[in-house]
Amino acid sequence: MVTCISQSTTTKFVIYKRISVAKSGGVDSNGIAAQQRDIELYLSTQNNPEVIGSFTDVMSGAKSDRPELTKALDLCRKTGAYCLSQKVDRLSRDVEFIARLVKDKSVNIRIANLPNADNFQIHLFACLGAQEREFVSLRTKAALREWKVKNPDRKLGNPNIASINKTRMYKARKFADGIRNVIIPLRKRGMTYQQIANTLNDMQLTTPKGCKFYPSQVKNVIGQVNGGWAVAMTLLGYERGFGATTTYFRYRAELDRLVEMAQDKGRTQDTGIRQRLAWCHSKVEIMRWLGQQVLTSFLNGEPPGPKSSIGKLNWSEYHRVVTELSLDILGSDAMLVEGEHGYAAGLGAADAGTPNTSSAWINSFLSARSGTIYAGTSQVQRNIIGERILGLPKEPRSDEGPWNNTLR
């Protein structure tokens, strides 16, 4: 007697959901709860379904760059699982993207609200959806034009919208200030945005709309709402103030190495060379005291501010001049690249232990030019110092002023 043992096969699914940014606070037909409900209903009709992954993007449907969808599709390709979404437009509103997706033989798509749809039907529904959105837009614009003709003295919208937006902005800034104190320490520990979102949700913290956090929301709340420019300027200040107290030692070691080379080549007998070396010594000492000033500000809890531009301008322009002096001291030897290249990484002075070879100094000479460009050019630093520290008038703009009238 032969006994047949039947084994039920499982069907693997990777779930993909998308929440529109503007609707993430509510539970509507496109909300997360509705998507989860329809997906669970679809899975209940399948034979032994196995969900091996779930991914959620929080962004507008108009955006085509969706990192979580990319991860979901990659997992489907690796495992042969079906990519399951509630509706076609949850995957994308881009008809061309849907067309490429259904033609991709390495991915199988399933739509919960279209349980029996094949690839052709999925593509067809994407086209119909795009056409309907265009029709809705045209109908809405036509209705608005008609309303304005019939009501020329009335305005659409809430007349108190400015005051309402001001109140919302104030609350949003207060919320951002509070949650930033939680997010930044977690980020410094090396936690990912997903891990931070999970931690905030475990702490039962919610967004201003009372919803849970997603990675994209954590990433966006770095500083105050609409305070991106201030955040960028603060970060640039820290970049320019980087190594405020340690940079001096690097340039001091480099200058000492240059003096040693000048002595070995007998160039210290040249009064011009001695005067230029003395100038370099004064600049390095200025660098030292500027660094102490920046450090004092940091210890007092002050942000770097425009003062960091003084240090950046000082060391970048100094390094350009001192490396030119090194080639003058080398003389004809600077025409040949000899010896070890040294350890000049292109960011400031060469590292300690760099040899006194023509190759090392030529390398430093070439890399020094970049220092006057990155982290803000020398021209930009001079403008910042003049306008924000010395209080001088702003530099004239080509698109403003009476002289621009002649160009129109």
Angle at 112 between CA 107 and CA 115, to 5 degrees: 85
Tell me how many domains the chain contains.
3
Question: For the stretch 172-205, what's the b/e string if a residue is b when 16 or more beta carbons lie within 10 angstroms of its beta carbon?
Answer: eeeebeebeeebeebbeeebebeebbbbbeeeee
Could you tell me the end-to-end alpha-carbon distance of the chain, in angstroms, rounded to an integer? 99
Residue the block writes with tokens 């475990």:
202
State the pLDDT at residue 393: 87
Q: Indicate whether 152 belongs to any domain.
A: no
Q: Indicate whether 403 belongs to any domain.
A: no
Choose the weakest-confidence range: 48-62, 82-96, 173-187, 267-281.
173-187
Q: Indicate whether 408 belongs to any domain.
A: no
Residues forming a β-bridge with 19: 58
Q: Domain with 117 in it: what CATH number?
A: 3.40.50.1390
Same domain, 36 and 78: yes
**Do the bridges between strand 82-85 and strand 49-58 make them parallel or antiparallel, or are there none, so unpaired?**
unpaired
For residue 23, pLDDT over 50 is answered with no
Q: Indicate whether 141 belongs to any domain.
A: no
Same domain, 45 and 115: yes
Q: Domain with 310 in it: what CATH number?
A: 1.20.140.10
Report yes or no: 309 and 385 within 8 Å, Cβ to Cβ.
yes
- The predicted model gives 18-34 an average pLDDT of 60
C-alpha to C-alpha distance for 219 and 194, rounded to whole angstroms: 9
pLDDT band at 14 (very low <50, low <70, confident <90, very high): very high
Q: Indicate whether 3 belongs to any domain.
A: no
pLDDT tens-place string over residues 320-368: 999 999 999 999 988 888 877 655 444 567 766 777 888 888 888 888 8
Choose the weakest-confidence range: 139-153, 167-181, 193-207, 374-388.
167-181
Report yes or no: 358 and 334 within 8 Å, Cβ to Cβ.
yes
pLDDT band at 26 (very low <50, low <70, confident <90, very high): very low
Same domain, 378 and 253: yes
Quote the percentage of the chain above a pLDDT of 70: 80
Question: Which pTM does this prediction carry?
Answer: 0.46
Whole domain around residue 54: which residue ranges? 11-127
State the pLDDT at residue 235: 67
Q: Indicate whether 283 belongs to any domain.
A: yes
Same domain, 182 and 321: no
For residue 407, pLDDT over 50 is answered with no
For residue 294, pLDDT over 60 is answered with yes
Q: Indicate whether 202 belongs to any domain.
A: yes
Same domain, 243 and 220: no
Q: Indicate whether 396 belongs to any domain.
A: no
Choose the weakest-confidence range: 60-64, 117-121, 286-290.
60-64
C-alpha to C-alpha distance for 139 and 136, rounded to whole angstroms: 5
